[in-house]
Amino acid sequence: MTAPPLFSSELQVINAGVAEFAEALRQQSVPVVDLAWQPPAQGDSTLVEVLKHIYGSRELVEWIEAANQETFRRILDSNPQVIDVAPAAEAMGLSRTILHAGPPISWERMCGPQKRAVLGAIRFEGWAGHDQAAEVLVKNGEVTLSPNHRYGAVGTMTGIISPSMPVLVVRNETFGNDSYATFNEGRGNTLWFGVADEGTLTRLRWLRDEVGPAMKAAIKQHGPLNIFDIVAQGLQMGDECHARSAACTALLVKKLMPSMLEAGVAGQTVADIIRFMDQNNHFFLSFTIAAVKATMDAAHGAPYSTVVTAMSRNGVDFMIRVGGLGQRWLVGPVSAMDEAVYYTGYTVADAAGDIGDSAIIETCGLGGMAIAGAPTIAPFVGGSLADEVAAVRRLETITLGTHDKFRLPPMDSATTPLGLDLRRIVETRLVPFITTGVLHETSSSAGQIGTGVARAPIQIFNQALVALAHQWGLPVNAAVPDESIVDLEPVTKTA
């Protein structure tokens, strides 16, 4: 009797899953190819059940695919333009309210930098002369706090908007919806970094009294300013448009400043504004987030869509919006900033949690999704361009396609991954990462203390998929806790 062929022929093994099996064979000199495989949703039985229900219904899958394609098409068709600059009171109907980045949050739970920025904004508005008085107003409800997203707005880092701050009015020309963002304050003592001293207020007044009106005049003279044209060029010039906007900012200067001069703004004022932009490579970031907000708002809302249309954080909580869930956002704790690169003297122990509405950028094929466009920030993900390229390639496994306008020169002009599919995120456990900064939790003067990437928390995506399953009437054995769902009905403009 001869041995069965398996044992007499030369073994050629592909090992899927547990690595120990491959190791045992290798020790016997058998060549093994490792397949990078893991069970869907890491074997979580609830999630596997949800995924099975979804993929088990051909009809449901077709509805999802159609909704996702509609969402995807709306992103690509969007054409956000700056059409005006005006005080938030006028543009957004804001009164006696301070807007902030991220999910709704009580004053007590708010992180240090955002609290400091809220109090600074109240002083800036003249509603209180000092922080204690300002805090009383908040606690008594005489000043309301609200997330930017309820007002169609977005803010970077602490993301504070108060009524007299000038905002960019961005219109999605294709779909007619508007979005808003303040001007970026730059480095040093600034509200977005959670520093609210006299220098901060002086700069806010200059932004209100000089920059706002000058920009308004420039836009009026120029006509609507196409934001994604500049973003697309910036990607050709080393920006990924979240952590780095140096090229976009320089492009904005040369595109817009002639109109500001022709509108009759005083030469010294224009000189001051150009110099401010020269010293603030993040200046264009406000334009990018507002454009992405106007885009993703237009793309949001297709029933059955599993596309993530926003991510947002306030230093304590992280929330996501999914196309098919309407205005019900999913919320949970932010990630610790333990992957960031800290400035000398600081560690993650000093850091506030992940913060800012700017994570919406990553839902639109920019920021982390475009990180290989910015080799100078390769240290965020390992140090080399190869690491960045690998990161982008991994993101391609959780996206529907790529953005036809956003190209990465160091990847031979590959287009950026676009359309984060909740199903794929839950299935693969790959979460999008966000290129961002880190703020000091307790110091009233340190401001930014690091930079790097933050990971979107996987639990929130899990719950969003379960929430969708419930909405679709799938018989799943899991509940979404009430506190994980936030209703963010938009505020109707009253002005």
Contact between 247 and its own copies by CB under 8 A: the answer reads: yes
Instruction: Please name which of 456, 457, 458, 454 lies closest in space to residue 242, comparing C-alpha atoms.
Output: 454
Pull the structure tokens for residue 162. Answer: 């108060």
* Piece of the chain touching its own copies by CB under 8 A; list 89-97, 156-164, 206-214, 370-378: 370-378
Report which secondary-structure segment, H or E, holds 400: strand 399-408
Pull the structure tokens for residue 311. Answer: 């991510």
Instruction: Please name which of 185, 408, 380, 376 lies closest in space to residue 276, comparing C-alpha atoms.
Output: 185
Sole residue written with tokens 């005049």: 217
By CB under 8 A, name the one of 118, 153, 270, 307 that touches its own copies.
Answer: 270
Contact between 414 and its own copies by CB under 8 A: the answer reads: no
Contact between 238 and its own copies by CB under 8 A: the answer reads: yes
Contact between 226 and its own copies by CB under 8 A: the answer reads: no
Min. distance of Cβ 161 from its own copies in angstroms? Answer: 26
Residue 111 · residue 315 · CB < 8 Å:
yes
Q: Report d(CA 322, CA 424) in Å as an integer.
A: 13
Min. distance of Cβ 256 from its own copies in angstroms? Answer: 9
Pairing of strands 328-333, 308-314: unpaired
- Choice between 49 and 240, CB closer to its own copies: 240
Q: Report d(CA 337, CA 146) in Å as an integer.
A: 25
Min. distance of Cβ 366 from its own copies in angstroms? Answer: 17
Positions in 275-294 near its own copies (CB under 8 A): 275, 277-278
Contact between 486 and its own copies by CB under 8 A: the answer reads: no
- C-alpha of 436 from chain center: 9
Min. distance of Cβ 276 from its own copies in angstroms? Answer: 9
By CB under 8 A, name the one of 339, 409, 424, 430 that touches its own copies.
Answer: 409
* Piece of the chain touching its own copies by CB under 8 A; list 39-47, 201-209, 360-368, 411-419: 411-419
- Choice between 74 and 407, CB closer to its own copies: 407
By CB under 8 A, name the one of 5, 141, 176, 267 that touches its own copies.
Answer: 267
Q: Report d(CA 230, CA 23) in Å as an integer.
A: 52
Contact between 268 and its own copies by CB under 8 A: the answer reads: yes
Q: Report d(CA 301, CA 419) in Å as an integer.
A: 14
By CB under 8 A, name the one of 257, 310, 319, 467 that touches its own copies.
Answer: 257
The beta strands (E) that lie in 46-108 are given as 80-87, 97-100
3-class DSSP assignment, residue 342: strand
Binding to its own copies by CB under 8 A, coded x per residue (else -) over 19-38, reads: --------------------
String of b and e for 409-431 (b: at least 16 CB within 10 Å)? ebbeebbbbbbbbbbbbbbbbbb
Contact between 336 and its own copies by CB under 8 A: the answer reads: no
Min. distance of Cβ 208 from its own copies in angstroms? Answer: 21
- Choice between 153 and 257, CB closer to its own copies: 257
CA angle 423, 428, 433 (to 5 degrees): 90
By CB under 8 A, name the one of 246, 302, 337, 364 that touches its own copies.
Answer: 246
Which residues lie near its own copies (CB under 8 A)?
A: 236-238, 246-247, 249-251, 253-255, 257-259, 261-262, 264-265, 267-268, 270-272, 274-275, 277-278, 374-376, 378, 383-385, 409-413
